[in-house]
Amino acid sequence: MFACDRKLDIVGTTVCGLLTAYGGGILRDFLLQDEGVYFMSHPYLFLLCVGLCFFVFYFRGIFRHLPSLIFLCDTLSVALYAVAGASKAFDCGSGVVMSVVLGAIVGVGGGAIRDSFVGEVPGIFKSSNYYAVAALGGSFAYVFFVELGVDPAAAAALCVLTVLVLRYASVYFDWRTGDDPVDLTRYVSRPFKWLACVVRALFLGGGKKERRRRMRGRRVERDDGALYEEKPTGHSDEKRRSALDSADTLKYMR
C-alpha cells in the first residue's frame, strides 16, 4: 500500500515489498555473520512475498477499506520481526544490549530502507506515534524474560504483546516522539553563570554593575563650575591626567 499510494508501478511495488520484508533481516545477518543471509536459503518465502506484492497491487481497492486491519498487520509484523532479530542475536551470544538493538533494527529496518529508496526521510526518524519505540520495547521484553529463565516461546508472546500495547496506546493517547524537544541549555548553564559572576566579583573587581560604572566614566568639574562626563579611553591614570592638563592648556590659550 505504501508503493500504491506513491503511484509506483508493479516493479516498484514489488521492490518496496521485498525491501520491507527482507531489509531488516539482511542487516541482522550482515552484522551477525552467522549462517549467511536467511532469505537466500529459503526461496519459497521469496516467491510468496512476490506473490503477495502482486496481489496487493492488483487488488489494492480491497485494502483501502481495511485501515484497521492494515494497522494491525503492520504492528504484528514489527513485533514478529523484533522477536526474530532479538532471538537470533541472543542465541549468537551478542549480549543483552546488542540483542535488544538488533531486535529493534530488524523490526523497523526494512521500512527505513524502503523509505530511503523512494527518496523520503524514514518514518522512524520523524515525529510519529510509537513505532521504533515499540520495537525497542518489544525486543527488551523478549531479552529480559529470557534472561529470567522464561521459555523463549512465552517470551516471544510477551514481546508481541508489548509491541501491541505500546503501538495502540500511542495512537489512542496520541503519544508521539516530539520533533521540537525542550532545550535544556538555559537550565544547565545557570550554575555556570552564577559561578562566573562570583569569579568576576572576587578576582576581576566586580560584576555587571561595576562594568557599567566604568563604562559610564566619571564626572569632572570644570573651572567654570560645569560638570562633564569623562569617558574612559583605556589609558592609565597618568595618561588621563595628562590629557586633562592638555585640555586646560588649550582652553587658556584660546
Cell of 69: 486491519
pLDDT computed for residue 82 by the predictor: 92
- pTM metric for this prediction: 0.69
CA angle 74/79/80 to nearest 5° reads 100
pLDDT tens by residue, the chain, 254 residues? 777 777 888 888 898 988 888 888 888 888 887 777 777 888 888 899 999 989 988 888 888 888 888 899 889 999 999 998 999 888 888 888 999 999 999 889 888 888 888 888 888 888 888 888 999 999 999 999 999 989 999 999 999 999 999 999 998 888 888 766 677 777 777 777 777 777 777 766 555 555 555 555 555 555 555 555 555 554 445 555 554 454 444 444 44
What does 102-120 look like in DSSP terms, one character per residue? HHHHHHHHHHHHHHHHTT-
Q: How many CA atoms lie within 13 A of 75 on its CB side?
A: 24
